[in-house]
C-alpha cells in the first residue's frame, strides 16, 4: 500500500506460480514436461526457484559430476508408477572410487530431497548429505564414506529439519577418531530422525562414537530400527547428547576398540531421555568395557524400556557413570533390566558413583536384578522394585510379557502416557486395567478389545 497526495493506491503483485521440472537420463529438451525432459539434474536444480519441484524419472542411475546444492525452497524427488516415490529404482551415484562427490547440500528450511537411492558418495564430512536446513525423506542412503570428518551418510548442522522414513545402511567414517557412521548431528536444531532403519554403519577407527547416530545437540529419534552398527569407542548404536530416543529398537550394535569401550547399544549424556525402547543383544567387549546395553551419566531418564541380553566385559546391561554434579542424577522407572551378561561382577547394572553420601541412581517401579541394595559398587535407591524373573515370551527373541509376568500392572502411571502407545502399538494406559506395565511392552490378554487410536 502506497499513500501520497491524498490518494490510496493498492498494489497487487501476483505470486509466481510453482514450476515443475522433469529429468530423465536420455532427455534432450528443456525439462518442461515428461515429453520434454532434460538430462542434467544439476542444471535443473540450479534453475528451480522457490516452491518448484524437480521430478526425476525412475528405472535409471544418474552419475553425478559434482554435488547438488539446494539453496531454495524446492523439492527434488523420484517419480515412479502413478507418481509414487521409487527410491529402489531411482539411483544417484557419486561414483566413488572413480570420483569424489557428495550428493546434496541442503541449506533452506523448505528444501526437500525425497524418494532416491544415494550411493557411492565420498566427501570429507557427510558422505552423501550435508544438511544445514531442510528435510530428507523416503530415501535409501547406502555405501557412502566420510573420509576426514564425521557423518558417513548424513551430516547435520546450523539449522533444523531432519530425516524421515529413510534407510541408512552400510555407510562409514574412515578417519581415525571421527564419529557417526550413519548420521552426525553437530549443531543447530532441534533435529528429528523418525521412522528410519539405520543399520550396518560404522566408525570403528580409534575413538569414533555413535556407529549409527551421534547427536551433540537436541535431537529427537523416534520409531526407528537401529541395528548392527559399530563404533570404536562409545555408543555402538546411538551416542545422544541431548533430546531423546522414543519407541525404537536398538539391537545388535557393538563398540569394538581396545582397551576401552562404552555403551554397545546407547551412550547417553547431558539431559537425554530413553523411552519405550527395546535394547537387546548389544555388546561392548574390550578389556575394560562398560555397558553392553546403555552407558549413562548426569541428568538422564530411562522410562518404560526393556534392556536385556546385552553383554560386556564390564557391566552387561547398564552402567551409570559420574556423580551427577550440577546436571542432576539418573532416574530409571518402569524399566526391565534383566538377563544381561558380564565378564565382571555385575551382569545387569553397576555404577561408577564416587560419593557414598548421596543416593545417586533412583529406580522406581523397575524389574531389575540383582537387587539394587546388594550391589556393593553402587549408590542407589529403589521404590517398588521387583527382583523376580519378568517372564518374557522368549528370553532370546521375544521380549513381550507372559500372562504370569510380575511386571503386568506393576508400573507407575505418568502424564505422558495418556494416549501414548507401547512398542507394539498397544495403549500404555488401557480402559480396562488402568495401570501401566513395566518394560517396553504392554500385556494384552486374549480376547481384549483394543484400539491404538
Q: How far apart are CA 224 and CA 214, in angstroms?
A: 14
User: What are φ and ψ of residue 357, in 5° steps?
Assistant: -85, -5
Residue range 119-128: average pLDDT?
A: 97
Asked whether the bond before 190 is cis by omega within 30 degrees of 0, the reply is: yes
Mean pLDDT of 71-93: 97
Residue 345 has pLDDT above 80, yes or no: no
In 322-414, at which residue ranges do the beta strands (DSSP E only) sit?
Answer: 331-333, 336-338, 341-342, 349-351, 361-364, 367-368, 380-383, 392-394, 398-401
Whole-number pLDDT of residue 450: 47
Per the document, the length of the chain is: 453
Above 90 in pLDDT, residue 17?
no
- Residues 172-231: pLDDT tens digits? 999 988 999 999 999 999 999 999 999 999 998 878 899 999 999 999 999 999 999 999
Who's near 116: CB < 8 A, 6+ residues apart?
56, 76, 77, 78, 87, 90, 91, 92, 139, 140
Per-residue confidence (pLDDT) for residue 371, from 0 to 100: 56
More confident residue, 51 or 347: 51
List residues bridging with 90 in a β-sheet. Answer: 60
Given this model, what pLDDT does residue 299 score? 73
pLDDT at position 347: 86
Question: Burial of 25 by CB count in 10 Å (0-12 exposed, 13-18 middle, 19+ buried)?
Answer: middle
Q: Which helix (H) or strand (E) holds 183?
A: strand 183-185
Q: How confident is the model at residue 7 (pLDDT cuts 50, 70, 90)?
A: very low
Sheet strands (E) in 387-450: 392-394, 398-401
- Nearest-5° Cα angle at 312, 441 to 341: 60
Q: Which residue has the higher pLDDT, 256 or 22?
A: 22
- Average pLDDT, rounded, for the chain: 88
- Mind listing the domains of the chain with CATH numbers? 57-383 (2.160.20)
Under DSSP, the state recorded for 203 is E
Amino acid at each position: 500500500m502506497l499513500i501520497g497526495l491524498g490518494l490510496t493506491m493498492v498494489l497487487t503483485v501476483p505470486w509466481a506460480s510453482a514450476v515443475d521440472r522433469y529429468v530423465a537420463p536420455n532427455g534432450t529438451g528443456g525439462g518442461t514436461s515428461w515429453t520434454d525432459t532434460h538430462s542434467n539434474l544439476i542444471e535443473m536444480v540450479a534453475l528451480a526457484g522457490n516452491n518448484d519441484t524437480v521430478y526425476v524419472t525412475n528405472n535409471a542411475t544418474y552419475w553425478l559430476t559434482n554435488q547438488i546444492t539446494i539453496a531454495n525452497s524446492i523439492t527434488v524427488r523420484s517419480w515412479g508408477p502413478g507418481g509414487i516415490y521409487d527410491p529402489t529404482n531411482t539411483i544417484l551415484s557419486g561414483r566413488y572410487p572413480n570420483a569424489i562427490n557428495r550428493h546434496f547440500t541442503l541449506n533452506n528450511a523448505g528444501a526437500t530431497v525425497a524418494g532416491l537411492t544415494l550411493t557411492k558418495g565420498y566427501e570429507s564430512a557427510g558422505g552423501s548429505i550435508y544438511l544445514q536446513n531442510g528435510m530428507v525423506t523416503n530415501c535409501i542412503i547406502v555405501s557412502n564414506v566420510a573420509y576426514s570428518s564425521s557423518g558417513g551418510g548424513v551430516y547435520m548442522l546450523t539449522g533444523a529439519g531432519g530425516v524421515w522414513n529413510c534407510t541408512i545402511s552400510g555407510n562409514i567414517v574412515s578417519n581415525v577418531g571421527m564419529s557417526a557412521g550413519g548420521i552426525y548431528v553437530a549443531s543447530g536444531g532441534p533435529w528429528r530422525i523418525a521412522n528410519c532403519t539405520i543399520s550396518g554403519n560404522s566408525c570403528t577407527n580409534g575413538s569414533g562414537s555413535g556407529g549409527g547416530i551421534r547427536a551433540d545437540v537436541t535431537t529427537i529419534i523416534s520409531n526407528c530400527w537401529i541395528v548392527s552398527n559399530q563404533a570404536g569407542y562409545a555408543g555402538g548404536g546411538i551416542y545422544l547428547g541431548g533430546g531423546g530416543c522414543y519407541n525404537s529398537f536398538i539391537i545388535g550394535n557393538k563398540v569394538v576398540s581396545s582397551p576401552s569401550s562404552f555403551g554397545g547399544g546407547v551412550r547417553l549424556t547431558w539431559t537425554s531421555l530413553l523411552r519405550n525402547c527395546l535394547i537387546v543383544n548389544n555388546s561392548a567387549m574390550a578389556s575394560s568395557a562398560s555397558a553392553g546395553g546403555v552407558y549413562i551419566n548426569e541428568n538422564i531418564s530411562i522410562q518404560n524400556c526393556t534392556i536385556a541380553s546385552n553383554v560386556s566385559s564390564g557391566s552387561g546391561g547398564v552402567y551409570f557413570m559420574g556423580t551427577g554434579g550440577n546436571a542432576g542424577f539418573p532416574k530409571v522407572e518402569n524399566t526391565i533390566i534383566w538377563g544381561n551378561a558380564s565378564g565382571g561382577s555385575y551382569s545387569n547394572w553397576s555404577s561408577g558413583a564416587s560419593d557414598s553420601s548421596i543416593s545417586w541412581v533412583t529406580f522406581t517401579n523397575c524389574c531389575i536384578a540383582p537387587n539394587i541394595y546388594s550391589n556393593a559398587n553402587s549408590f542407589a535407591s529403589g521404590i517398588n522394585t521387583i527382583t523376580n524373573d519378568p517372564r518374557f515370551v522368549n528370553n532370546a527373541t521375544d521380549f513381550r510379557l507372559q500372562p504370569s509376568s510380575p511386571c503386568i500392572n506393576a508400573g507407575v502411571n505418568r502424564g505422558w502416557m495418556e494416549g501414548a502407545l507401547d512398542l507394539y502399538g498397544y495403549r500404555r494406559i488401557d480402559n480396562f486395567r488402568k495401570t501401566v506395565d513395566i518394560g517396553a511392552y504392554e500385556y494384552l490378554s486374549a480376547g481384549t478389545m483394543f484400539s491404538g487410536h
